[in-house]
Structure 1
Amino acid sequence: MESPPDRERQYPSRVDDPEAVPFLPDMCTLQAVFLLVLLGELLALALTLADSGLWRFDWEGLGFRSFLIQWIVLLSAASLCPLRFVLSTLPSWWAGVASYALVLLITLVCSGLGVWLVDGWQSADGWVLGGNLILSAIFSGVVLRYLYVQQQWSNQQKAELRARIQALQSRIQPHFLFNSMNSIASLISVDPDKAELLVEDLSSLFRASLAEPGLVSLADELELCRHYLAIEQIRLGPRLQTKWHVSETIESQLSEYQIPSLLVQPLLENAIVHGIQPRAEGGVIDIHLDGHKQRLNLRIENPVVGATELQASRGNRIALDNIRHRLQAYFGDEARFEAQSLDERFVVELSYPPANAQG
């Protein structure tokens, strides 16, 4: 049996990556600590009011509850801070369970120590610990869920901003712009109709680069890709060949599928820059698109230039890493993204459930 092909990930681990996506926001900043302390104090005040009322307000009880809650809040924040990038390497469900369990464990330890230090251990203190755990489970569950949703929203906004900036920069690159303008100038006297089409293709790319990022129909995204390929076809001529393999199911429902804007075009640009352009004879880019209502599968293949180090360049890694982040921001752990060298071809595969977009 042949050993499986070596797979070259185009991105480092999230812990080492400066652009890694954290699971929770940073709770060790001054503002975050202040808000957590304030929430803890409000909880202590609410519990004391519910227990003793306003007329016979229990100041001693407020002090004990405040002391206990603040220890739980601050220890939980201090524990989750260094773990937020480690948690991001786990599936969201497991990361959430781990965070939740850690807070409950801290609650149990702090409550047990607090009860023992005040009156020693009594037989009825088990009910006290149980009540504290229930309150902590409710309160921490709500807070952790809010922090997670807030961080996912922030991750999505940052990923979209990176995509927009990267797309804009790639379009305004002097080489790309000059090559496009030179192609237009050379066609004006020879084939003005084709020159006009090239101008329209270029304007479509600029329009997409400047548009607000978000979900678009698969039909629009593929149309943008065809505009881009038409521009590069003029420049590279017969060296660039593209083959589309779109299943009948997908082709008949292109407008019904949603995809993050400017997701496929950068993959084609990567294939041309790293797989076609460096080769004197050019090559073929194969684009496979299939799936069903529950899942969409896209695979792009291009030739490998010599060793795979060209394909693993920093610019390529950033582009692929950005696409992975955007897919995760929209579709969570159900999105899959993989890049590998296989049989002298560089293959990028992505898959996601279109109906489960979070954006």
Structure 2
Amino acid sequence: MDRATGEGVDRDDIPFLPDLCSVTAIAALVLMGELLALVLVLATDGLHPFNWQRLGLISLTIQWVILPSAAILCRLRPHLARLSHKLAAALSFTTVLVVVASVLVAQHWWMADMTGSRIDYWALLANFLVGAICAGVVLRYAYVQQQLHNQQQAELGARIEALQSRIRPHFLFNSMNSLASLIAVDAERAEKLVEDLCALFRASLSDTKLAPLTEEIVLAKRYLEIESLRLGDRLQQEWQVDELPAQLAIPAMLLQPLLENAVLHGVARLRTGGTIQIVIRKNVIGDAPGELLLSIQNPIAVSETESALADAGNTSNIQQGNGMAMENIRQRLNAFYGNRYRFSAGVHDGKYRVELRLPVNVTVETGSKKQPAQTAAVSEEAVL
């Protein structure tokens, strides 16, 4: 499955090795190379006196093997994903062996030329075997880590799909109730409701896991229009939306359940109704990308205070619809963002407020096929 959308993908999109061009991977490889050089020096010359000259020579040789190998494998990564694992492993190992042999031959030729002696082919062969063994161990480690990463992403996609599917029946049930209440009262308004429901149904039944924030706002406003047909002037809405990048994405169907919670457990239970306040803005934090603030606030009846407090934390006596929606949102946010989001819900000054703070580094292309720029909970740079 695709790492962030959860959609089915071809075999070509499943990497065989980690991205060895990332800063984290290169730093890890360089550090591993230096540790290997230190081990080889200690095994050959001991600790006292420490041979700094040999350490420098071995470190230089190892880094000349590591960096070109990483660069070549990075370029080969898309092609390796199209091959079987055995063939990809053979090609990767052969590539590294060619680099090892080239560096060692150049090193031994240079040392022989500097000393005026002949090349020691047995020493060359021994060094090549050591390099081959170390290369095999590192490649195996990288392969296992990448397969673990792939498995985590597949499980994450399946979990997001399960969470999204759980919220659909809840939404559809309440929407059909709204439609049934209007059919006998106002046929024209019921027809308008059907049109809005069609748009919302398409969104709720879509397999897209990330959606542009602008589309989510449009769907949320359509939902409030549906509820306005049922509640009339009792439902008021106040939007405060900053100008945000068009490609900024959030989990699909994130706003609608929050607004549904505000309507059904807030405004609809008040005889005089009330105003739902929606705030969407970007908070800039120094030189960092910042965070996206989503805040939804609605009035509640005095009798609803206990229920709202339970929604924010204690789920022992929550009504099924309200509690399911809030817990579902928490789990979906955790699946997408890991620990990089903030979610709070509770009663403040007689009003129930839900506040979300999300990272803004998740984007989608403004085209027919949405492609997230970054996975949510598991970063590929952490593979090595």
When normalised by structure 1's length, the TM-score is 0.54
Distance in 2 between residues matched to 1:150 and 1:204, nearest whole Å: 34
Match of 1:180 in 2: 179
Query: 1:49-98: per-residue Cα shift (whole Å, max 9, x none)?
Result: xxxxxxxxxxxxxxxxxxxxxxxxxxxxxxxxxxxxxxxxxxxxxxxxxx
List aligned pairs for 1:282-301, cutoff 5 A. 282-291=273-282, 294-301=290-297
Match of 1:57 in 2: none
List alignment gaps of at least 5 residues for structure 2. 1-135, 284-288, 312-317, 363-373, 377-384
Deviation (angstroms), 1:320: 1.6
One-letter code aligned to 2:156: N
Deviation (angstroms), 1:329: 1.9
Deviation (angstroms), 1:256: 2.2
Deviation (angstroms), 1:138: 9.4
Match of 1:257 in 2: 248
List alignment gaps of at least 5 residues for structure 1. 1-134
Q: CA RMSD in A?
A: 3.0
| Corresponding residue to 2:330 among 320, 324, 329 | 324
Query: 1:275-300: per-residue Cα shift (whole Å, max 9, x none)?
Result: 11221121111100100654211000
One-letter code aligned to 2:170: S
Deviation (angstroms), 1:350: 0.8
Query: 1:290-335: per-residue Cα shift (whole Å, max 9, x none)?
Result: 0065421100011233253322224323322221222222222212
Query: 1:116-137: per-residue Cα shift (whole Å, max 9, x none)?
Result: xxxxxxxxxxxxxxxxxxx999
Query: 1:13-36: per-residue Cα shift (whole Å, max 9, x none)?
Result: xxxxxxxxxxxxxxxxxxxxxxxx
One-letter code aligned to 1:339: A
| Corresponding residue to 2:306 among 306, 309, 313 | 309
One-letter code aligned to 1:177: M
On the 8 A contact 1:184/1:198 being kept in 2, the answer is no
On the 8 A contact 2:291/2:359 being kept in 1, the answer is yes
Match of 1:270 in 2: 261
Deviation (angstroms), 1:146: 4.7
Query: 1:112-159: per-residue Cα shift (whole Å, max 9, x none)?
Result: xxxxxxxxxxxxxxxxxxxxxxx9999778756754653354134223
> Cα gap change, 1:303/1:136 in structure 2, threshold over 3 Å: closer, same or farther?
farther
Match of 2:348 in 1: 342
One-letter code aligned to 2:180: M
Query: Are 1:215 and 2:214 an aligned pair?
Result: no
Query: 1:183-207: per-residue Cα shift (whole Å, max 9, x none)?
Result: 244323xxx3x44432211111111
| Identical-residue share of aligned pairs (%) | 36
Distance in 2 between residues matched to 1:138 and 1:304, nearest whole Å: 59
When normalised by structure 2's length, the TM-score is 0.51
Rg bigger for which structure?
2
Distance in 2 between residues matched to 1:208 and 1:261, nearest whole Å: 8
On the 8 A contact 2:279/2:295 being kept in 1, the answer is yes
One-letter code aligned to 2:159: K
On the 8 A contact 2:170/2:321 being kept in 1, the answer is no
Distance in 2 between residues matched to 1:187 and 1:343, nearest whole Å: 37
Query: Are 1:236 and 2:231 an aligned pair?
Result: yes
SS at the partner of 1:309? helix
On the 8 A contact 2:167/2:328 being kept in 1, the answer is no
> Cα gap change, 1:160/1:310 in structure 2, threshold over 3 Å: closer, same or farther?
same
Query: Are 1:200 and 2:195 an aligned pair?
Result: yes
Match of 2:171 in 1: 171
On the 8 A contact 1:159/1:322 being kept in 2, the answer is no
Match of 2:49 in 1: none
SS at the partner of 1:316? helix
On the 8 A contact 1:205/1:228 being kept in 2, the answer is yes
SS at the partner of 1:221? helix
> Cα gap change, 1:330/1:187 in structure 2, threshold over 3 Å: closer, same or farther?
same
On the 8 A contact 2:238/2:278 being kept in 1, the answer is yes
On the 8 A contact 2:267/2:273 being kept in 1, the answer is yes
Deviates more, 1:144-153 or 1:220-229: 144-153
Distance in 1 between residues matched to 2:140 and 2:341, nearest whole Å: 31
One-letter code aligned to 1:237: G
On the 8 A contact 1:152/1:329 being kept in 2, the answer is no
Deviation (angstroms), 1:272: 0.9
